[in-house]
Amino acid sequence: MNSHPKIKSSSGFTLIEVAVALAILSWVLGSALYVVHQYADERLKLRERFFSTQVSWNRLLERYQDSQGWVPDSDRRARQKTGIDEQLDQNWRWEIKIESAMGQDLYRYEVQSGLEESEKFSGSLSIYLIGKAGK
């Protein structure tokens, strides 16, 4: 006869082990969802900033063409200081500020733009041009 008592070996996981594994899994999945959400948010902000800057660039390009004399005087007088452009099926409002800079006939043009329904501008570009100010 054996003098050692038999020890039953158990197979499987205990309830505590399963609970710890589920807690770790939920933490990992929660973190992954948070990162994906942050990525999507940043992507939307970057997209908005890109199109807003594109609108600003288009307005500055018009003013550059004016300063180079590529546009007739009648068209220059019709230039507005504020307006709304459409890009990617969305309306973008823009506003241009023209300030005299140091030097003769040197002007600073700054265009700010953003979504029409937004209170803030999301893009801004500026340029210095020599010539008549298109006020």
Identify the pLDDT of residue 134: 63
Q: What is the structure's pLDDT at 2?
A: 61
pLDDT of the residue at 109: 94
CA angle (30, 35, 40) in 5-degree steps = 125
Give me 103's structure tokens.
């030097």
Domain ranges of the chain: 15-130
Alpha-carbon span 37 to 94, nearest angstrom: 30
User: Does the 15-130 domain belong in CATH 3.30.1300.30?
Assistant: yes
Q: What pLDDT, on the 0 to 100 scale, is given for residue 79? A: 83
Q: Which helix (DSSP H) or strand (DSSP E) does residue 50 occupy?
A: helix 15-67
Residue 9 is predicted with a pLDDT of 66
- Give the pLDDT score at 66: 85
- Quote the pLDDT of residue 8: 67
Closest CA to 94 of 65, 75, 121, 63: 121
Residue ranges of the chain with per-residue pLDDT less than 70 = 1-6, 8-10, 133-135
Return the pLDDT at 121: 93
Neighbour count for residue 9 (Cβ, 10 Å): 5
Please tell me the predicted confidence (pLDDT) of residue 132: 72
Threshold 0.85, pTM exceeds: no
